[in-house]
Amino acid sequence: MRTTKRRKKEIALVLFCLTAAVISSGLLYRSFSGTNESITKPIGSVAFKIKDVQRKLFKSDLWEIIHKNSEVYNKDKIKTSDHSLVSINLNLGSIIELDENTLVYLEFDGEFTTIELLEGSIHTKGADSGSKLKIKSDNTIFDSSNSSASIYKDKDGSIKLTVHDGELKISSADGTKNVKAGDSALVDDEKITVIKNMIRIDSPTSNRYYISNSSGANISFSWTDPADDAPYVLLISNNSSFDKYNTYNSKSESIDLKLETGTYYCMVKNDSGDKQSSVIKFSIIYDSRPYLILPEKNGTIESYSTNPVISFSWGASTMPSKYTVEIYSDSELKNIVLKTDTETKSIDADTLTYGTYYWLVKAHYSISPEDTIVSDIGSFQVNKSSTISQPVLLQPLNNETFSSDFFKKNRMMFSWNRNADIAQYEIQISTDMDFNSIYYKSNTINSSIKAEKHMPPGTYYWRLKYFDEAKKKEVYTDIRSFIVISETNIEPLSPGNRAVISSDRTIRIHWKDPSMWNNYKVELSTDHEFRDIRESIVTRNNYADVHVAEGTYFWRVSRLDDKGRPISTYSGGTFAVSSSATEETSRISIVEPKNGSIIDMTHKSVIRISWRDEDKPDKYKVELLQNGIVKFLTETTKTSLNFAELHKLDRGNFSIRITSIVSKKSGAYTETDFEIVLKPLKKPELITDEIIITE
């Protein structure tokens, strides 16, 4: 009997332990995964952002980078850093914009979306009566359901605000007051002060964005003064506090100025200074022109069929929301034969017959519908061919290198230009050039395919097989190769180990990872065992920006799996933050190639690299990288060199890193990013008579 009772107790104890283990593992998984999608619901999405914007999910300790079109969730915290901003479309209809160095907390109670402004400034835009939007700061509530407004929170907690449209209601310990369009208010712990602004700025409108493909833009300022109390003074500053500003005098209610790219705040006063307008914020943002890729400029498309499917593709930044492609049959662009809108960077056209065509791409922006940036004009010919042209292999680049870590999270995408004369393609991947050992093959009617197979380390060769209707037989494309290397380690780049950094600057934690992983966690701790973690950021980039108090820190970076769990962790070293330190910034300035530039190497034999440096180190280390892989490395005592080993490169995105070396130790460094456009070479044409050799 005692034995039976003892067994029952033992069974109960085992069941209790198993239950506890299951509950503990579930809680541990939730802690590691850092996801709140099952807990809270999305309440909006990111419409636009500049530089890094981070958010912390509900019940998570991790900050992660958010991207354009990312959803934001109930109970999220969102913060911006230096020179960054974000525009968020809320599901109830409002748009909110966060300036740099702003921290907010989002909450939706089923009726109202409430944005708690913890620090910085926020702008509401395009709200209507159905938007149900409130801004909260400490014990003050700003009901912006029927208004568009700008709200600035000072370091002492006081609020300055301006209403641009509609009417905003303020509720605080001082009672309730309404602020109408064009007026401002000051709010502190004691009272609400409403300021009647007699002058109203008509242009620029509040939070207006200007998109320019040059270093600046022409801005037209205009305002209305019922008293017509001229002359006026226009004040323009780079910050809302107007601690520094430029003044421009005008005898009328308008003035035109050319300003450089940047964020500005403006207001208008009369000459005596007793009347003024509210403060208006606007931004001038640079974006490069779209650049045409295919068809290549002045190229010829040989088509076996009368109406070939012609692939058009172009490159651009991530800023445009959509594109318009226009194709003309004349160089004066009067006779348009095709016009189409798309949100992608490529289209296929099947309505063009034989002839000469001219085309261009227009970039449009959701944040600035008035602005359009137009590409250069491309031209091409469509000629009748008695043969079917061979597809051009596009990705991966020839001899491109991948880490085997890449295949733990990704599958390789293969792509080529589409050919209307080919109904189906068979991709073949082999471990030898003669394709005697085919490792993978698959059929597709598309111009790309994702190889759903892991690639062990080694050299691979790939080609396409297709049926040539003109030759009535199966043929093959040219052969390309790519290389898979063994697992690689993450290499820390900055801050340098034992570096001392000024406390008044944002610190960029930067590393190199040949695996091209896209999910990392960066941690900063005050001890080397990481028991006192002060910052923890999740990012898709190979860098993270942090701002920490004075002290000594250790940092590390981890690759994360799809559930946010660390796979491998690498130490980055230690650095100190001090108010007495000078800024650990590089004095090296790269002159060419310029950051973000596009280099067409079709008819060039060298890439010119040059830089300036205020210091005089012993020498410089120059690295040319693609996807984190060093393609070229050299050392020089000069501040310029010509890179002529073009056989090591192909089309794609590259970086140049220049590091100063003093007493055999690496010092300051700087980087620049650029893109190489390398037009595909035409297949050699046999011009001699065919010779048949027989034994």
Does residue 356 sit within a domain? yes
Pair (252, 166) in one structural domain:
no
Tens of pLDDT, residue by residue over 151-183, are 999 888 899 999 998 899 999 888 899 999 889
Query: In the listed set 551, 578, 605, which residue is the last one of a domain according to the structure?
Result: 578
Tens of pLDDT, residue by residue over 195-252, are 888 899 999 998 899 999 988 899 999 999 988 888 999 999 988 888 899 999 999 9
Q: Average of pLDDT values for 134-149?
A: 90
Does residue 683 sit within a domain? no
Does residue 138 sit within a domain? yes
Pair (524, 592) in one structural domain:
no
The 3-state DSSP class for residue 2 equals: helix
Tokens of 154: 């000072």
Residue 662's pLDDT is: 67
SS3 annotation, 226-268: CCCCCCEEEEEECCCCCCCCEEEEECCCEEEEEEECEEEEEEE
Pair (81, 225) in one structural domain:
no
**Residue 176 lies in domain:** 42-196
| 287, 211 contact by CB (below 8 A) | yes
Q: By C-alpha distance, which of 86, 89, 141 is closest to 115?
A: 141
| 96, 125 contact by CB (below 8 A) | yes
Using the predicted structure, report yes or no on whether residue 23 has a pLDDT greater than 70: no
Q: Comparing 209-223, 317-331, 391-405, which segment has the lowest mean pLDDT?
A: 391-405
Q: What is the DSSP letter of 130?
A: T
Strands (DSSP E) contained in 518-628 are 520-525, 533-539, 543-546, 551-560, 566-578, 588-592, 597-600, 607-613, 619-626
Using the predicted structure, report yes or no on whether residue 331 has a pLDDT greater than 70: yes
Query: In the listed set 162, 196, 230, which residue is the last one of a domain according to the structure?
Result: 196
Pair (248, 113) in one structural domain:
no
What gap in Å lies between CA 171 and CA 192, rounded to an integer? 9
Q: Which residue has the higher pLDDT, 75 or 589?
A: 75
Pair (46, 192) in one structural domain:
yes
Q: Comparing 271-275, 368-372, 486-490, which segment has the lowest mean pLDDT?
A: 486-490
- Answer yes or no: pTM beyond 0.95: no
Pair (574, 433) in one structural domain:
no
Q: Which residue has the higher pLDDT, 44 or 611?
A: 44
Does residue 153 sit within a domain? yes
Residue 2's pLDDT is: 43
Number of domains making up the chain: 7
Pair (465, 610) in one structural domain:
no
Pair (134, 189) in one structural domain:
yes
Does residue 423 sit within a domain? yes
Report the percent of the chain where pLDDT is more than 90. 32
Does residue 333 sit within a domain? yes
Using the predicted structure, report yes or no on whether residue 9 has a pLDDT greater than 80: no
Tens of pLDDT, residue by residue over 496-534, are 777 778 776 678 888 888 777 778 899 999 888 888 888
Pair (605, 570) in one structural domain:
no
Does residue 467 sit within a domain? yes
CATH number at residue 476: 2.60.40.10
Pair (266, 323) in one structural domain:
no
Does residue 688 sit within a domain? no
What type of residue is 47? A
Q: Average of pLDDT values for 650-674?
A: 68
Pair (472, 408) in one structural domain:
yes
Tens of pLDDT, residue by residue over 83-129, are 888 999 998 888 899 998 999 999 998 888 999 999 999 999 865 55
Tens of pLDDT, residue by residue over 595-643, are 667 777 666 778 888 887 766 777 888 888 776 567 788 888 888 888 8
Q: Average of pLDDT values for 418-435?
A: 88
Tens of pLDDT, residue by residue over 252-293, are 999 999 999 888 999 999 988 888 898 999 999 988 899 998
Pair (271, 131) in one structural domain:
no
Confidence of residue 323 (pLDDT cuts 50, 70, 90): very high
Query: In the listed set 384, 415, 434, which residue is the last one of a domain according to the structure?
Result: 384
